[in-house]
Chain A
Amino acid sequence: MIITETTGAVDTGRAARRGLFRIMLRNPLNVASMIVLALFALLAIVGPWIVPFPPNLVRPDLVNAPPFTSEFVLGGDLAGRDILSRLIASAQGALRSAAILSVVSFALGVSAGLIAGYFGKLFESISNWLFSVILAVPGIIVLISLYTIVGTSTTLAMAVFGVLVAPSMYFMVRTLTRAVRKELYVDAARVSGLPNRRIIARHVLIAIRAPVILMTAGLAGVGIAVQAGLEFLGLGEPAVPSWGSMLTDAFFNIRLAPEQLVWPAIALGLVTGAFSLISIGLRDALEGTYVKPSRRERSRRIEAVRHGADARTEEARESPPVTHGPEPDGTLLLEIRDLEISYVQRKAITTVVAGVSLTVREGEVVGLVGESGSGKTQTVFAALGLLPDEAIVSSGSIRLGGVELLGMPETEFRALRGPGMAYVPQEPMSNLDPAFTIGSQLVYGLRAQNGCSRTEATEMALAMLERVGIHDPVRVFRSYPHQISGGMAQRVLIAGAAASRPRLLIADEPTTALDVTIQAEVLDLLRDLQQETNMGVLLVTHSFGVVADLCDRVVVMRDGRVVESGPVRDVFDAPKAEYTRSLLDAVLDHAPARGELNTKEVTRA
């Protein structure tokens, strides 16, 4: 998606506003679950009026009557009562159980979780302790002992069970609230003078509503299952029909009329299943799970993109990039020609890279600059073979040392990475696995590439760490990623990338996340390594300062196209494309400092 700064109307994201409900309706499983739950709720409400017979009516002549043979459509049970009527009449109790359990756990867990997560401190310590204790209590045993004290009351039992499952709600809400509490919009609301209770209601509760609804739906299903379990154990009210007690009755009868087990089992399975499926569907709708398209769908999309490609490529051809003189001599390393990358979302085709061509020669540092959405990262990801599955490369070619990379099997591609080309990412921390030491990650990578022994790889890794300017390589080798700074982490990644002496290094905003003083040092390191090994470097950046510092040539991209390319000095001194000029004009380095405050001029409007 290309987002440009316009003050006019923006039409992106309209679709995002569409209701969750409609997204959920797209999945037939969700629709089926909703229908089941609606029927269940309806039966619970109107059940007493529509049952064909009173559920406790006993017809001795129809004891264990088989289904579909008498006026008891689903047959009679061991006491001669109508199974269908009892099945329908049980819905009310099941719904009540689900409601009580979810309301109690919701009220307790959400309110305590919100307060603990938002204010923390003493309340949090006490409530953590309390809910941990509840969590440790064996639920069924508590319920059974409760029966011996207060007798059979499904309502009370469900309320108690609601308390027992409240900790799961509490801990989830507390964790979510704590995260939302750190959001800047909560700080902004505090600065606005909004009282805490309004912040909690307006900002926190809304932000965490989805997972809370999800868990409530899950707990409702649990409520029905637990009630059935208790009734099955004979701990229910005998006069009230329930699916659990029906199961018990059928169980006594299992040799005589095994089919009696089927009906309550179906009812229970359908309703608890529907609750689970609804919560899963809700989660998928909220997280927007990516569904991989079928092979046929994919080829249809590729065809669609190919079809539309001509016009765009034509357009790109009509306004070719501005170049400064002929390309330099030297051995071609990376050669990208007329690359086009598109994404298909439902019916719309978004072309993020349209006819991009660029080259990197041996020993040359090429800067690829552009603003967000210019397609620079997509271009290098295509070269690295790291594009997501949804991306469609509809035309063009990418050659590394004369070998075509597009369409190359993954196994061959893997052999190329390392000695052929290496990659330094933007976020050093998220590219190191927090579960392993730096050393083990470097050794693993080296062995995968060179097939050397562990000792050899360790020696190489230590030497590389020293080479990238780490003063105490042994300590860093043994450290976990969280124990080192961001600048250090980037050095480690550069060490890993440079270890196999690649011919081409692709670096994506390698210093953007770093402090300026660290950035300068990391750029020094890249320069030194490049000169040492004479590798080619393709450096993606949004900063003209980085280009000026390190690059020989620069390629300027905008909206998926190259607008200008040439030697750094030429482009900086005399930019030919309008866009390059406007970008260079926006650079503040040469803007005059703001003068001193003239106190006389200040008037308050």
Chain B
Amino acid sequence: MPRLLSVEDVVVSYGRGRKRHQALNGVSIALDEGETLGLVGESGSGKTTLGRAVLGLVPVESGRITFEGRDITSAPAPERRRLARQLQVVFQDPYSSLNPSMTIRDILIEPLVAQGLSRKAASARVAVLLDRVAMPSGALDRYSREFSGGQRQRIAMARALALEPRLIVCDEPVSALDLSTQRKVLDLFIELQERTGVAYLFISHDLAVIRYVSHRVAVMHRGEIVEDGHAREVTEAPRHPYTQRLWASNLVADPTEQAERRATRLALAAATVP
């Protein structure tokens, strides 16, 4: 049986000539139905580019991306449109990912209508969608600016779920949220996954977030995957020096533990500097 998503040796670069910068340097990942693959890395590691390549938002230079065995590396527009039913996205910034001049109803209807549903049939479904992300249906005729970050992210989730996709690319979906909101939204992600069997490619810079939602974790650094494995192994006993450094830099909300972790990090740094 083919994997739900498989990315093989993908190369993506930006710019031309001397300004050319290789954002992805032959990256391979695979994902099964109902699974969360956490993609962790710092800015410039290429994690966002990988998500955008899967979504077809950046052109792939070489390599292959397959979805259920079908090659979608450079799918033409009509096929992309069909693919939208299977493959959706939740972006980081809940402020920029919802059009400020559209009501929540119009935002939720849009993907349904784009897939050929009538406006009426689509309208009938949006209330259910909002309910699924624990938002009241009274929200439908409001604008996104009337909602807090956490609520906007719920709306973005509802939009992604509208077409009942099999895979959602989540690009830092909780990093703009407050601490208490963050956990609630993460729990919602997990709950929806358990209910619908959707798979997540979950991108984040935060190891704690990644380990909380992911079954498996891949660590990215400078356009390459340096380590991958089960969430617990990667986040508790990292093997690659970069993952170790990342782990040791991750702050922990406990003074004693943090002091130990700081000592570990300084020891690691001392060991690498000749």
Contact = CB atoms under 8 A, between A and B. Distances in A.
Interface of A: 3-10, 12-14, 16-17, 183-185, 187-195, 198, 202-203, 206-207, 371-372, 515-517, 519-520, 524, 542-549, 568-569, 572, 582-584, 586-591, 593-597, 599, 601-605
A185 B97 contact: yes
Interface of B: 32-36, 42-43, 52, 55-57, 77, 80-85, 87-89, 91-93, 96-99, 101-102, 110-111, 114-115, 134-136, 138-139, 142-143, 145-151, 156, 159, 163, 178-184, 186, 190, 195-197, 205-209, 211-216, 230-232, 235-236, 245-246, 248-258, 262, 265-266
Contacts of B57: 187, 190-191
B146 A548 contact: no
Contacts of A4: 148
Nearest to B213: A594
B99 A203 contact: yes
Contacts of A10: 139, 142, 146-148, 151
Contacts of B111: 192-194
Given A516-B246, A583-B179, A595-B215, A548 B145 contact: no
Contact of A5 (B77, B184, B230, B262): B184
A367 to B, nearest CB: 11
Contact of B114 (A185, A193, A203): A193
B91 A587 contact: no
A595 B233 CA distance: 10
A17 B77 CA distance: 36
A8 B258 contact: no
Contacts of B235: 593
Contact of B91 (A187, A568, A583): A187
B250 A193 contact: no
A552 to B, nearest CB: 10
A542 B178 contact: yes
Contacts of A194: 110-111, 114
A544 B84 CA distance: 39
A371 B134 CA distance: 22
Given A17-B143, A193-B114, A583-B179, A8 B252 contact: no
A371 B35 contact: no
A548 B212 contact: no
Given A184-B96, A207-B101, A605-B195, A519 B249 contact: yes
A593 B232 contact: yes
Given A10-B148, A517-B245, A545-B258, A587 B253 contact: yes
B53 to A, nearest CB: 13
Contacts of B149: 3, 372
A547 B230 CA distance: 30
4 shortest A-B CB distances, which residue pairs? A545-B251, A193-B84, A193-B81, A602-B34
B215 to A, nearest CB: 4
Contacts of B91: 184, 187-188
B168 to A, nearest CB: 10
Contacts of A3: 148-149
A7 B136 contact: yes
A4 B148 CA distance: 7
Contact of B138 (A9, A594, A604): A9
B203 to A, nearest CB: 14
Contact of A572 (B93, B156, B254): B254
B180 A5 contact: yes
Contacts of A519: 249, 251
A192 B91 CA distance: 13
A191 B180 contact: no
Contacts of B52: 187
Contact of B208 (A542, A588, A597, A604): A588
A605 B197 contact: yes
Contacts of B147: 10
A193 B77 CA distance: 8
B252 A192 contact: no
A542 to B, nearest CB: 7
Given A5-B148, A586-B183, A589-B253, A597 B34 contact: yes
